[in-house]
Amino acid sequence: MSSQAVDHPVDEKLPALRMTTSGLQHVAAMYAGVVAPPLIVGAAVGLTGSELTFLTGACLFTAGLATLLQTLGVWKIGARLPFVNGVTFAGVAPMTAIVASTDDKRDALPVIFGAVIVAGLLGFLAAPVFCKAVRFFPPVVTGTVITLIGVSLLPVAFGWAQGPDPAAHDYGSTTNLGLAAATLLIVLLLRRFTRGFVKQIAVLLGLVVGTLVAIPFGVTDFGPVAAADVIGFPAPFHFGAPQFQLAAILSMCVVMVVSMTESTADMLALGEIVERPADERTIAAGLRADTLGSALSPVFNGFMCSAFAQNIGLVAMTRIRSRYVVATGGGFLVLMGLCPMAASLIAVVPRPVLGGAGVVLFGSVAASGIQTLVRAGLEKDNNVLIVAVSLAVGIIPITEPEFYHAFPETAKIVLDSGISTGCLAAVLLNLVFNHVGQGRNAADVTHPMEAGEELTGATRAPATP
């Protein structure tokens, strides 16, 4: 390994205290996203409270394993970037559809697990081919996608700010919104008036202080800590041996394609942020970690794993680019999966407090995308059209969630993801406006796309006439 690679902030090993607290920040940022899918799917299956706790712990455990595989890497597996993996929310709709179509609900989880295993293995084999798509992501595309990632995540933060249960009487109450605003204010004040290490862990401190502030308002529940077991292991195939049904497999394969598309976009975004642009080799290694982690996850009763874009916002805001920090967070996730009581500590943080911090995290992702677009040659009409239409297409599922209600369920897996639709639109429009056609004017192309060319982000100079 070259000295340049060793000296890069991505490969930096921080002091133990900074490594621990910064890793905990990543866990706090992703926790709600990891536990939501098993809670939704488990409720659809009709699991008991203890079974739901087991399924949630299993998903935390497998998310930690996938994150360690992604950050530390083995052989040609793992992007070796500060890249967090967890249960993808894209699979929730098809998994609940599988549950609904299963006569005996006890077979639903084994059918889901079997489909995820097959989709993961097929995705692993396809990774070397899929990574070639990196050539189709010049700054005009990556900037659009990064912006969409941030914009797509902001509604999640807004939902958290209103409360955990949309059916509750206090959902969206002034108390909940006030706690979210207070947490946001705390994070901003810490970022503005502190320095060094304290400034870097502003989000974690904001979550702690926000939780303490929430106690007098009765929205902080310590019940899960008292009820949780100290030690618990996700025994392999706890819910039964995997079953393989063609319809379920096809459904999860579609989710895998969506997941790989979003992971590619997320790796490109993260590469820009940490100033180590993701090339084809990095993308392929990252996709192998995603897909292998997904294939192994059902063994320990977990679901399909994919990139967590909200943690990219944390990297962008704190400027802590070390992959070992994220690996530490992955280690915490594994421990939480093995110790339900530890997992319940993070669950104590009220959802409105998470929402306040999420505004900063997810907004930072969108801001990073705008920074990339600044370098994308928007003085050219073609590129303005690419960005304008792609953003509009990507925002449709956010502003009008029922826009594609008349489409088949399989198509909606892709269409309901603003990141996927916006990404596809940006790639296709960039090809049409900047690369297709005879006698094209090279001056109209911000970044010509040649065979075998790799994205180098900010280091690439604009094309000259």
- Please say whether the beta carbons of 326 and 26 come within 8 A: yes
CA torsion sign for 132, 426, 149, 416 is: negative
- In this structure, is residue 464 part of a structural domain? no
CA pair distance 80, 465, nearest whole angstrom: 37
CA dist 247 to 13, 47, 163, 306, Å? Answer: 46, 23, 36, 22
The pLDDT of residue 6 is 52
Give phi and psi for 85, each to the nearest 5.
-115, 145
Provide block-wise average pLDDT over 10 residues at a time, the chain (465 residues).
Answer: 59 87 82 74 77 84 92 89 82 78 83 93 92 76 81 83 86 92 93 78 82 88 72 84 86 80 82 85 91 93 83 80 91 86 71 86 79 81 91 90 83 74 87 70 42 38 35
Tell if the pTM clears 0.85, that is, is over it: no
DSSP state of 21: H
The pLDDT of residue 387 is 93
* Matching residue, tokens 């006439």: 465
Which residues have C-beta within 8 Å of that of residue 192, sequence separation ≥ 6?
none
The pLDDT of residue 123 is 93
The pLDDT of residue 444 is 45
The pLDDT of residue 462 is 37
Tokens of 362: 């997810």
Enclosing domain of residue 376: 3-459
Closest CA to 311 of 123, 90, 34: 34
CA pair distance 305, 61, nearest whole angstrom: 11
Tokens of 430: 């960039």
The pLDDT of residue 184 is 94
The pLDDT of residue 115 is 92
- Please say whether the beta carbons of 272 and 142 come within 8 A: yes
- In this structure, is residue 364 part of a structural domain? yes
- In this structure, is residue 363 part of a structural domain? yes
Tell me which H or E stretch contains 131.
none
CA pair distance 84, 296, nearest whole angstrom: 17
- In this structure, is residue 465 part of a structural domain? no
Tell me which H or E stretch contains 155.
helix 139-162
CA pair distance 203, 209, nearest whole angstrom: 10
- In this structure, is residue 17 part of a structural domain? yes
- In this structure, is residue 443 part of a structural domain? yes
Counted domains in the chain: 1
- In this structure, is residue 380 part of a structural domain? yes
- In this structure, is residue 88 part of a structural domain? yes
